Homo-oligomer: A and B are copies of this chain.
């Protein structure tokens, strides 16, 4: 887990309490999961009264929404940086993000924990979504012949699903032994099997059946 902020000195005016609270929130989520979060504990760990936290975030959902927003921003930045290195690098960056920021990852697509209609969250999601969808369209060739549009879309969803599922299962600790322990290597070894996407334009006979 990589904290998103550097240290601040303790005065009455904290300086960057909002950031500090989000860092502590992330730490609590890593320790106990997103279901066992309380504003009071987060505030206490940041060394301030719990009302100070309420000053920055309207309520618990607001706190979690802010973490999700921060996460989508950071994910977008990571994916944007990887895009130039090609399709596979974006996938590797996605999985690496989930490992470096597991708490953010844990709340970023959780409509039951986060206010998905929050304007700032929506903006951040649009940014990360642009790389996710756009990047795949580029990589697989967006100027596809007819019937290619759905194929391009489903190829993108396949790639997203694969890396997202890999993150989820990996973070849950339910993957079996025998896999590469290095996460970049693991991602490449698994994503290799997404071979069909970049290779052809037409729909094959149903793949892998029998």
A144, chain B: closest CB distance, angstroms = 14
Distance to closest chain B CB from A108 (angstroms) = 9
Alpha-carbon distance A178/B153, docked complex (angstroms): 8
Q: For this complex, into which size category does the number of interface residues on chain A fall?
A: 35 or more
- Selected from B36, B154, B199, the residue in CB contact (under 8 A) with A179 is B154
Please, how many angstroms separate the alpha-carbon atoms of A157 and B33 in the complex? Answer: 24
Q: A33-B113, A110-B33 are in contact. Are A190 and B158 (CB under 8 A)?
A: yes
Instruction: Please state if B35 and A209 are interface contacts (CB–CB under 8 Å).
Output: no
CB atoms of B168 and A206 under 8 A apart: no
A 15-31 to B, binary, CB cutoff 8 A, 1 in contact else 0:
00000000000000000
CB-CB under 8 A from A199, the residues of chain B are 195, 207-208
A161-B196 Cα distance, complex, nearest whole Å: 16
Known: A206-B188, A209-B86, A209-B87. A168 touches B162 (CB 8 A): no
> Which residues on the B side are within 8 Å of A204 (C-beta)?
192, 195
Whole-angstrom distance between the Cβ of A192 and the nearest chain B Cβ: 5
Q: List 14 A-B contacts (CB under 8 A).
A: A34-B112, A88-B209, A109-B169, A139-B208, A154-B189, A154-B190, A154-B193, A155-B193, A158-B192, A192-B203, A193-B197, A195-B195, A196-B196, A198-B210
Q: Which 5 A-B pairs have the closest CB atoms?
A: A33-B112, A195-B196, A165-B165, A198-B208, A161-B165
